[in-house]
Chains A and B, each alone.
Chain A
Amino acid sequence: MIRLEGIVVELGGVRILDGVGLEAGEAETLALLGPSGSGKSTLLRVAAGLQPPAAGRVLLDGADITRVPAHRRGVGLVFQDAVLFPHRTVGDNVGFGLRVRGDAVADRRRRVSELLELVGLAGAEQRDVGTLSGGEAQRVALARALAPSPRVLLLDEPLASLDGPLRDRLRDDLHDLFAALRLTVVHVTHDVAEAFALGRRVAVLRDGRIAQTATPDELWSRPADTWVARFLGMRNLIEDDAGLRVVRPEAVHVVPGDDAVVLAVDRRGPLTVLTVRLDGAEELEAATTTLTAPRPGDRVSVEIDPDGVVDVAADPYAEREAAHGRADDADDLPLHPR
């Protein structure tokens, strides 16, 4: 179990982390989700011992390790782009932590081959790391981090530099692996889908503060505020006398009728997302599983499932950011590129 309390980090006079607390329980995967520049990687570096915090504590299985240097923490860390030792073979990379620890050669060799098999690269010991593909390198980096049996595994955007099917496959493999090994994991990502797929719980980080920590289902059904809702990809924000509400797209049903117009139709994997505008009112996104969607320009009607309407709090920092002349982060994020 790893627990961070009240972590404060300032770099060059800028407060990167402002009293962040989070916890990944035994055998739990915690996804740390946030836009770039929110301080996720810095938080991970604090956990790994690579960045001393100005304030706050790091606890590993209950023991305060805030002042323990990185090389005595016994945590595993995987960087965004592998960062393998270029002058060593795959096997020597994976065995590095074991050798530093002083394991016997035979034990080392057995453990290395075990781990390479675990990450799907059995028999790659003698390969030059320069010959690895991006996905393979990331698997080796994972094996290297796992070899010394770390008490907690820290992943810093391990899939961000991969693309397409490779990325999805490694994501699934990670999920299975973490479950099988009962690992305690903190997984940093800026990708909502990745966070939901891997995290048993998700901590959303915004500008150096935790905006919300919850299970993916809770997060999706009850986002803490409008910023979180929009960051998760919810476009349907309604503000009226009753207050602020979010309508989840799957609760918006498009039915035959004549009080709305279809603006856009996007197929996203199993879902089709329709953008419709109610006559004299706002735009809404509707997600359906249907194969026979209407087409842009069609006249339709819209029914909203009350279960899908959630009251949300206003963005607590909107005023502060407006005062600082800053745009809302969520608007700039290419969460669902068109």
Chain B
Amino acid sequence: MDGDRAPLSGRAGRPALAAVPLAFLAVFFAWPLVAILERSLVLDGRLDLPLDVLASSSTLEVAWFTTWQAAVSTVLAVVAGLPLAWAIARFSFPGRRLAEALVLVPFVLPTVVVATAFVALLPDGIERSVWAILLAHVFFNVAVVVRLVGSYWSGLDARAWDAAATLGAGPARRFRSLTLPALAPALAAAASIVFLFCFTSFGVILILGGPRYATLETEIYNQAARAFDLRTAAALALLQLAAVALVVAVAGRLERRLGGSRSARGARAQRPGGRERAWVAVAVGGTLGLLALPPATLVERSLAVPGGHGLDHYRRLAEQTPALLVTPWHAILNSLLFATIAAGIALAVGIPAAVLAVRGAGGALDTLVMLPLGASAAMLGFGFLLAFADPPLDLRGTIWLVPIAQALVATPFVVRSLAPTLRSVDNRLREAAAVLGASPPRVRREVDLPLAARGLAVAAGLAFAIALGEFGATVFVARADWPTLPVAIFRFLGRPGAENVGQAMALCVVLMSLTAAGAIAADRVLGRGGWRS
């Protein structure tokens, strides 16, 4: 028996626990990356740097566009997020928690839904343009700014602000000389995350950029799936990998340099008074109103039929369409099936990783599991195409690549949401159970499981929602006769005609409802005090 050898529970189980996540990452993350490296660097058995691809004018153009659109998107998102961050950080008002939850919704909406919403919202002519891309990126990332900057802001010492006011500094002056410098670490953190998201943005660019605008991420797809030039695609993926690593490194340095001299004494949020009330109302109402506009238009347009409104687009989801090999209704079922499998895999991989991270034994593993976050989705999908097209693991014909790719994207979120819950379980509870005669497996079942159940539910919901909306990797590996919801939406948008756009929007509303319901449910459960400090 396990207990006879090890007086302390857990030690003996460590290698076994680590095996699952490590094997999963080795096969489905490391191997595809190796496949990309091989394809880009080796030609006819010899090392052959793809300098011709990397130095070509079209690559430079794409790289330049990728960088500047990400930079501009970041600046706009930070500016757009600050008012609501201020309102939430500094004041308490009815519906504050709701506002915090609502602002999160765009962030968890699938990229294809957001892109389609802007197609619906923007007038003809600019609906597929740089402006559309920038706006969609802002829409997505306001949540990041509000959450990160807002929580940091609420921890700042408000007394310096009050002191400056008594010294005669006006609000604008105080913001510039006091608040902004104090917020620098949070702003830098938010900006670097937003930049990374926009830099690796895939669905938004692919749909809103049209044929004219391509980033490294979408160009990998164009070269691999449309031009069938795998060597160029692999070279671009290599470039993307290096660029992402650079961004992460720079962001890390920046954050360390600005690193917090944050006062532990946070200001208590107060009711806004006088003129502040109006400003808070504008910040909250304005931000949420603007954020509600694209999804609202999407819903409205999904119901628009010639001469009024109706459910025609939805009704037609059950009918055959030239855009797909199956009915759209099948795509919905496929998505639910794949997302369920993917959530199962993500939990199977993420739970042991989280357990190890909490025991302090999995520092390296913790980092490893996070890596797929850094690698972009299109890169993962492309790597899958290269790695699993030949024996020994030829998965091309199967449907398994889709849920596995989705699970890879979802696992980091599972670990991140589960680890704090597990950490909050007092180890002495496990010891108390052990002394009362519970064997290590029994302790896990009787103590860890019930106490982490809420965190597990949240992690499962999150993994499901992420898998449901996953597009970047899925579009590479989904079989034509097994499309997921995002893939089906993309196919509809790629065809001309109001009919197809209407169908896409109806599918978007279905996808959005499923995802948003999951995300809000998760946030509600979290907010109800699942985290014990």
Contacts and interface: CB of A to CB of B under 8 A. Distances in A.
Given A50-B434, A76-B435, A101-B437, A69 B4 contact: yes
Interface stretch (A83-91, A160-168, A176-184, A262-270): A83-91
B426 to A, nearest CB: 7
A204 interface: no
A266 B446 CA distance: 52
A64 B435 CA distance: 17
B438 A77 contact: no
B428 interface: yes
B8 A77 contact: no
Interface string A43-54: 000001111100
Interface string A141-182: 000110010000000000000000000000000000000000
Contact of B450 (A83, A87, A97, A145): A87
Contacts of A96: 433, 436, 438, 446
A227 interface: no
Contacts of B438: 71, 96, 100
Contacts of B435: 48-50, 70-71, 73, 75-77, 145
A50 B436 contact: no
A70 B431 contact: yes
A50 B8 contact: yes
| Residue of A48, A50, A75 contacting most chain B CB atoms (<10 Å) | A50
Contacts of A67: 4, 7
Contact of B442 (A68, A76, A100): A100
A144 B428 contact: no
B102 interface: no
Given A52-B8, A69-B7, A100-B442, A83 B429 contact: yes
Given A49-B7, A86-B451, A79 B436 contact: no
A246 B344 CA distance: 71
Interface string B6-42: 1111000000000000000000000000000000000
B525 to A, nearest CB: 16
A104 to B, nearest CB: 16
A101 B438 CA distance: 8
Interface string B420-444: 0000001011011111111110110
B101 interface: no
A102 to B, nearest CB: 10
A76 B438 CA distance: 13
B429 A85 contact: yes
A96 B450 CA distance: 14
B447 interface: yes
Interface string A132-144: 0000000000001
| Residue of B7, B428, B431, B440 contacting most chain A CB atoms (<10 Å) | B7
Contacts of A97: 436-437
A110 interface: no
B3 interface: yes
B436 A72 contact: no
Contacts of A52: 7-8
A85 B447 CA distance: 8
Interface residues of A, number: 28
A87 B429 CA distance: 11
Contacts of B3: 69, 71-72
Nearest to A79: B428
B6 A50 contact: no
A71 B439 contact: yes
A50 B431 contact: yes
A79 B432 contact: yes
A75 B428 CA distance: 16
A69 B434 CA distance: 9
A71 B434 CA distance: 5
Contacts of A50: 8, 431, 434-435
A86 B433 CA distance: 12
Contacts of B8: 50-52, 69
| Residue of B8, B436, B443 contacting most chain A CB atoms (<10 Å) | B436
Interface in A245-264: none
Contacts, number: 80
A234 to B, nearest CB: 35
Given A50-B8, A52-B7, A52-B8, A83 B437 contact: no
Contacts of B450: 87
A83 B450 CA distance: 16
Nearest to A100: B437
Interface string B185-214: 000000000000000000000000000000
Contacts of A77: 431-432, 435
B2 to A, nearest CB: 9
A123 to B, nearest CB: 23
A144 B437 CA distance: 12
Interface in B389-445: 426, 428-429, 431-440, 442-443
Contacts of A100: 433, 436-438, 442, 446
Contact of B436 (A86, A87, A148): A148
Contacts of B426: 83
Contacts of B442: 71, 100
Nearest to A85: B429
Contacts of A83: 426, 428-429, 431-432
Nearest to B436: A97
B7 A144 contact: no
A82 to B, nearest CB: 9
A140 B446 CA distance: 19
Contact of B7 (A70, A75, A76): A70
A83 B7 CA distance: 21
Given A52-B7, A83-B429, A83-B432, A71 B437 contact: yes
A74 B434 CA distance: 10
Nearest to B435: A77
A24 B3 CA distance: 26
B531 to A, nearest CB: 14
A120 B187 CA distance: 57
Contacts of B443: 71
A137 to B, nearest CB: 12
Nearest to A87: B450
Contacts of B436: 71, 96-97, 100, 144-145, 148
Contacts of A49: 7, 434-435
Contacts of A48: 431, 435
B432 to A, nearest CB: 5
Interface in A169-204: none
Interface string A297-313: 00000000000000000
Interface in A15-48: 48
A156 to B, nearest CB: 10
Contacts of B7: 49, 52, 67-70
A67 B8 CA distance: 10
20 contacts: A48-B431, A51-B8, A67-B4, A69-B7, A69-B8, A70-B434, A71-B436, A71-B439, A73-B435, A77-B432, A83-B428, A83-B431, A85-B429, A96-B433, A97-B437, A100-B433, A100-B442, A145-B435, A145-B436, A148-B437
A-B interface, 3 closest residue pairs, ranked by CB to CB distance from nearest: A97-B436, A69-B3, A70-B434
Interface of A: 48-52, 67-77, 79, 83, 85-87, 96-97, 100-101, 144-145, 148
Given A71-B439, A86-B429, A100-B437, 17 more contacts: A50-B431, A50-B434, A50-B435, A67-B4, A69-B7, A69-B8, A71-B437, A71-B442, A72-B3, A72-B437, A76-B435, A85-B432, A85-B446, A97-B436, A100-B433, A144-B436, A148-B437
